[in-house]
Amino acid sequence: MKENTGKSKYVMLGMLARKPQTGYTIKKWIENEYSHFWQESFGQIYPTLKKLVAEGLAVSSDHVQSGNGRGQITYSITDAGRKELSDWLREEPEIERLRYEILLKVSFGDNTEPEVILGHLDNFIKRNHKLVKDMNGYMELFEQLKEQDMDCTYSQLTALCGVYIYSAMRDWAVEAKKIIIEKEDDK
């Protein structure tokens, strides 16, 4: 019985630490503000929330609250939950294992025409360019919140990371295209 909900458990705790919420709003929250570095599906969220309650890390207030639809369940974090979250925060973060399919395709580039790879890079540049703009949008939004005395430094830092990473990816792809084209011209 090695209860392992992986990281989802702590994500739920982190979300509930901000304010009591339903599984549904947690999902929306993650989609909106976390999607560039984290994602959770309902298939994870609902069972995990139930486990939190079973472990005493959260409580589910209002079993069925008739508002709209089927009724919603609001979860709140307990003191034990805050302790669990804070313990986890102290642990050294795991080294992330990346799986960039585009790098795989680039590395196998010899097995196709250069145009194929150049095409992928073009799309990649466009996507990352848009992401940089999105992240800068978030940065501004947080800046405005700060002026209204709302503390959101840590959230802003994740957006800043997005700016850095997506800019780097875009710049790399631009450079990569140049190098491939140069190589083709040399032939």
Partner DNA sequence: AATCTCATGTAATGGGTTACATGATTTT
Partner DNA sequence: AAAATCATGTAACCCATTACATGAGATT
The binding site for DNA (CB under 7 A) comprises: 2, 4-8, 22-25, 28, 39-44, 46-47, 49-50, 67-74, 97, 99
Residue 149 sits in the site that holds a copy of itself (CB under 8 A) = no
The CA distance from 164 to 152, in Å, is 19
Q: How far is the CB of 39 from DNA (least distance, A)?
A: 4
Nearer to DNA, 22 or 78 (CB): 22
| Total residues found in the chain within this entry | 187
23 binds, among a copy of itself, DNA, none (CB under 5 to 8 A by kind): DNA
Dig out the tokens for 181 from the structure. Answer: 């084209």
- DSSP letter assigned to residue 111: G
Residue 51: which residues within 8 A CB-CB, separation 6 or more? 3, 5, 9
Residue 167 interacting with a copy of itself (CB under 8 A): yes
49 binds, among a copy of itself, DNA, none (CB under 5 to 8 A by kind): DNA
Strand partners, 77: 58
Amino acid sitting at position 155: S
Residue type for 96, please?
A: E
Other C-beta atoms closer than 10 Å to the C-beta of 23 total: 21
Binding site for a copy of itself (CB under 8 A): 7, 10-11, 14, 17, 34, 36-39, 82, 85-86, 89-90, 92-112, 116-117, 120, 123-124, 127, 151, 153-158, 160-161, 164-165, 167-169, 171-172, 175-176, 179-180, 183
